[in-house]
Amino acid sequence: MIVMKFGGSSVQDATAIRRVASIVASRLAERPLVVVSAMGGVTDKLVQVAEAASRSELSSALSIMDFIRAKHLKAASDMLDRSQSAVFEQDLDTVIAEATSLITQLAASRAATPAQHSQMLTYGEVLSSLLVTAAFSALNVPSAHADARALIVTDCRHPAASPLAPETRNKLLSVVPPLLEQKLVPVLGGFIASSESGEITTLGRGGSDYSAAIIGAALGAERIEIWTDVSGILTTDPRICPQARRIEEISFHEATELACFGAKVLHPATLLPAVEHDIPVAVLNSHRPTEAGTIIRAYAAHGPSAFRAIAVKRNISVFNVRAPRHVGSLRFLDDLFSLLRWHHLQSEIVAISGATASVALEGNRELVTLTSELEALGEVEFQPDMAIICLVGEDIRGRIGIASEVFGVLAGAGINIRMIAQGSSEISVSFVVEEKDAVRAVQQLHRHLFEQPAIATSHSSTSAQRETAQA
């Protein structure tokens, strides 16, 4: 069997859902299971609903819910005949009634608990999966809806719960194989799950990719396909560099590194279950289904450049903390990381030199409140409004002159580097620049590394340099 996941823009309206149906129809022989995101923009709207309801702005919350209802109904009436549409409308209204009751509770208590906030966000995938199932049946793709909230089991952490693999596997195995046996395409909402005690949870924003990988691993899928709005993983975000090119093959390690450092095309946790079960993942364009896309596998063929891609992560702050002379470095670092752990802050990159540690964290000016606590450990400098740029490529491992090449490009563009880190696996180089310089830095690096392949970046030059280094 294979798992096919369609993101928000791939199910944004009737035209998009029709395209999905024809893509799935072309794969029936491979026994697909389909995972769908909420219709494009719906999860953001649900965030607004939760916020408005918690401010007791009941009419504004309800009018956003009306918009969501109308969006689904319009798509349904564009694809279904009258009686099919009426059946869908009943399902729709059951879900809308549940959401409305939650809105009323939030408005009355003037707050949303993390669990209630998660629950509000799940309605997008609940509705889209019902809509897509109805559309598949109307478009002659035999299908059956399966409620992911009853099948994906997680812990109780909000807003991003972690899956419990054995429990999830047992539930999926009891429901999915019989549907596949009947030649039905199971359709599930991504992103949504629940805990063992039945509390509704989500896998974190962008988590439908993760759902696809969890399901693929649990059911031993032959392949996981992530269908999105670009033709695979590109050499960088095409919104920053329209010249970004498709990467044919990329390794699990490279793709994970890219996702962790901001390449939105994949949720950072997606590849974990796929790696553990060695399941290849393909990233494909639902708007252009015949294009080849990108294949992610354990070992990828060499690309035309030693670098595979550039990612950028905004909304970053850096703390530089200098230990007093009398404190040993081990104790200093131990205290520093205990403090971060206490605040549930995960360092994006860390650079330690002598008595100074620099830590880049996701978050901006609100992190300034950490300064006073860090001052108990030493002298502190706080730098908000930063971005991390990450260059990834297995072929940069052991290559001489990487740093000078990259930093030469940035120096030429007058861009100041605030912090540098090379991952211990040596497949990535990350550095921090001011957020205002991030787009220009990526564009300059992309031009140098991917748009002029003749300049010292080809794989052959890498091998040549390695040989020289070894000689």
124 contacts which partner out of ligand ADP, Mg ion, ligand ASP, none, CB within 5 to 8 A by kind?
A: ligand ASP
Write out the H or E segment, with its range, that includes residue 210.
helix 208-219
76 contacts which partner out of ligand ASP, Mg ion, ligand ADP, none, CB within 5 to 8 A by kind?
A: none
> For the window 229-248, what string marks contact with ligand ADP as x by the rule CB under 6 A?
xx--xx-xxxx---------
Of 228 and 358, CB closest to ligand ADP: 228
Among 43, 143, 154, 285, binds ligand ASP (CB under 6 A): 43
Interface residues for Mg ion in 204-233 (CB under 5 A)? 206
Structure tokens at 68: 């969501």
Give Cα separations from 21 to 6, 219, 281 (angstroms).
Answer: 11, 22, 20
Buried b (16+ CB within 10 A) or exposed e, 47-74: bebbbbbbeebbeebbebbeebbebbbe
Among 32, 163, 186, 190, binds ligand ASP (CB under 6 A): 190
User: Cβ neighbours of residue 407 under 8 Å, at least 6 residues apart?
Assistant: 417
Interface residues for ligand ASP in 195-214 (CB under 6 A)? 205-208
How far is the C-alpha of 463 from the C-alpha of 471, rounded, in Å? 12
Task: Give the interface segment with ligand ADP, choosing from 196-204, 261-269, 351-359, 428-436 (CB under 6 A).
Answer: 261-269
Task: Give the interface segment with ligand ASP, choosing from 37-45, 144-152, 380-388, 456-464 (CB under 6 A).
Answer: 37-45
> For the window 291-320, what string marks contact with ligand ADP as x by the rule CB under 6 A?
------------------x-----------
* Angle in degrees, 0-180, between the axes of helices 208-219 and 165-181, rounded to the nearest 10: 80
Of 45 and 55, CB closest to ligand ASP: 45
CB of 265 to Mg ion, least distance (A): 7
User: Which region holds residue 263: left if phi is over 0, alpha if psi is between -120 and 50, else beta?
Assistant: beta
Of 91 and 125, CB closest to ligand ASP: 125
40 lies in the site for ligand ASP, by CB under 6 A: no
Of 206 and 378, CB closest to Mg ion: 206
Nearest CA among 399, 53, 4, 44 for reference residue 188: 4
Structure tokens at 2: 């294979």
Of 359 and 429, CB closest to ligand ADP: 429
> For the window 86-125, what string marks contact with ligand ASP as x by the rule CB under 6 A?
--------------------------------------x-
Of 136 and 261, CB closest to ligand ADP: 261
189 lies in the site for ligand ASP, by CB under 6 A: no
Among 38, 134, 283, 427, binds ligand ASP (CB under 6 A): 38
Nearest CA among 412, 393, 413 for reference residue 402: 393
Task: Give the interface segment with Mg ion, choosing from 16-24, 72-80, 201-209, 448-456 (CB under 5 A).
Answer: 201-209
Cβ distance 453 to 235 under 8 Å?
no
Among 9, 43, 128, 143, binds ligand ADP (CB under 6 A): 9
Among 265, 282, 351, 390, binds ligand ADP (CB under 6 A): 265
309 contacts which partner out of Mg ion, ligand ADP, ligand ASP, none, CB within 5 to 8 A by kind?
A: ligand ADP
Amino acid residing at 87: V
* Angle in degrees, 0-180, between the axes of helices 114-138 and 14-25, rounded to the nearest 10: 70
What Rg, from alpha-carbon coordinates, does the chain have? 24
133 contacts which partner out of Mg ion, ligand ADP, ligand ASP, none, CB within 5 to 8 A by kind?
A: none
Q: Judge if the upstream peptide bond of residue 289 is cis by omega within 30 degrees of 0.
A: no
Interface residues for ligand ADP in 35-54 (CB under 6 A)? 37
User: Cβ neighbours of residue 370 under 8 Å, at least 6 residues apart?
Assistant: 319, 339, 343, 345, 382
Full strand arrangement of the beta sheet holding 153-154: 153-154, 192-195, 200-202
Nearest CA among 375, 363, 373 for reference residue 313: 363
8 lies in the site for ligand ADP, by CB under 6 A: yes
Task: Give the interface segment with ligand ADP, choosing from 79-87, 257-265, 269-277, 341-349 (CB under 6 A).
Answer: 257-265
* Angle in degrees, 0-180, between the axes of helices 42-54 and 114-138, rounded to the nearest 10: 140
Site for Mg ion, rule CB under 5 A: 7, 206
Q: Give me the residues that bind ligand ADP (CB under 6 A), please.
A: 7-10, 37, 206, 228-230, 233-234, 236-239, 263-265, 309
